[in-house]
């Protein structure tokens, strides 16, 4: 019987926030075969020059966090810290062995969805930070470092529209562009089995001990001549 477990990170309601400044969204996640997540997500808004810019940025970042992550900040293995870098203010969420159930929010059209289907993980989502009106002026920006999503899977990437490096898929976008993301990868690690590393370590330790004994014996033999 196939078991299906899903992790949903809601990424809608971004346009309705009508942010006056740029958004920094950086996700770097690693999914394990036992359905846990490690990594981090940064959600931050650029601080303007007005007197209340920091308060405004904090409020906007908080609204985005609520729309994107729901109750994830209170989930096991999640640490939330203040992110204040490069003129951006918001939050950094760090995940350490966080269960997929932590991301099982409501989800809606366009939200990031990470689902386990048997021995495969299926990922899809949409990032669209473009303003919802034609009157908002957008400054061209060639820097794609502010909007990035990278997901590392346990096994081989089977199909994706992102850039692949090993078992990691990455997408980048500018503030004024939309990116649709799709990926399917094996949930089974293509590295050595878990029992191999202890065996290799034990063998190495045994060989080192034998080498020490041999060298010591030779030295003692030479000293008796």
Backbone dihedral region for residue 202 (phi beyond 0: left; psi -120 to 50: alpha; all else: beta): alpha
What is the spatial distance between Cα 109 and Cα 131, in angstroms, rounded to a whole number?
Answer: 18
Give dist(CA 60, CA 54) in Å, integer.
10
Q: Find the DSSP H helices in the chain.
A: 53-69, 196-223
So what's the pLDDT on residue 99? 86
Whole-model pTM over 0.85: no
> Is 162 strand, coil or helix?
coil
* Geometric angle at alpha carbon 16, from 22 and 26, rounded to 5°: 40
Nearest alpha-carbon partner for 28 in 189, 194, 165, 129: 165
Q: Report strand pairing: 23-31 vs 147-152.
A: parallel
By residue count, the chain amounts to 225
Buried-state track 174-191, b at ≥16 Cβ within 10 A, e below 16: bbeeebebebbbbbeeee
Task: From first to last of the 225 residues of the chain, give the pLDDT tens digit.
Answer: 444 444 444 333 343 333 445 889 899 999 999 999 999 999 999 998 888 999 999 999 888 777 767 678 888 999 999 999 999 999 999 999 988 877 765 555 556 778 789 999 988 877 776 765 544 444 544 455 688 999 999 999 999 999 999 999 999 987 667 889 999 999 998 765 444 445 555 666 677 777 677 666 666 665 555
- Write the DSSP symbol of residue 73: G
Q: What are φ and ψ of residue 217, in 5° steps? A: -65, -40
Calpha distance 170→181 (Å, rounded)? 9
CA 5 to chain centre: 18
* Closest by Cα among 66, 60, 68 to 90: 60
Q: How far apart are CA 81 and CA 208, in angstroms?
A: 45
């Amino acid at each position: 019987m196939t078991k299906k477990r899903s992790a949903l990170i809601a990424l809608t309601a971004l346009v309705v926030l009508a942010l006056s400044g740029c958004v920094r969204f950086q996700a770097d996640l690693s999914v394990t075969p036992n359905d846990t997540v490690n990594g981090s997500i940064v959600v931050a808004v650029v601080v303007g020059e007005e007197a209340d810019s920091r308060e405004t940025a904090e409020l906007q970042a908080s609204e985005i966090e609520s729309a994107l992550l729901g109750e994830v900040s209170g989930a096991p293995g999640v640490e939330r810290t203040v992110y204040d870098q490069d003129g951006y203010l918001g939050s950094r969420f760090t995940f350490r062995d966080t269960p997929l159930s932590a991301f099982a929010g409501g989800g809606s059209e366009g939200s990031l969805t990470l689902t386990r289907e048997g021995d495969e993980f299926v990922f899809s989502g949409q990032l669209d930070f473009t303003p919802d009106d034609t009157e908002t002026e957008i400054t061209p920006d060639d820097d794609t470092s502010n909007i990035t999503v990278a997901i590392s899977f346990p096994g081989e990437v089977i199909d994706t529209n992102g850039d692949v490096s090993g078992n990691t898929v990455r997408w980048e976008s500018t503030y004024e562009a939309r990116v649709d993301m799709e990926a399917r990868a094996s949930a089974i690690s293509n590295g050595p089995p878990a029992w191999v590393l202890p065996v290799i370590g034990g063998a190495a330790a045994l060989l080192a001990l034998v080498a020490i004994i041999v060298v010591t014996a030779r030295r003692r033999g030479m000293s008796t001549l």
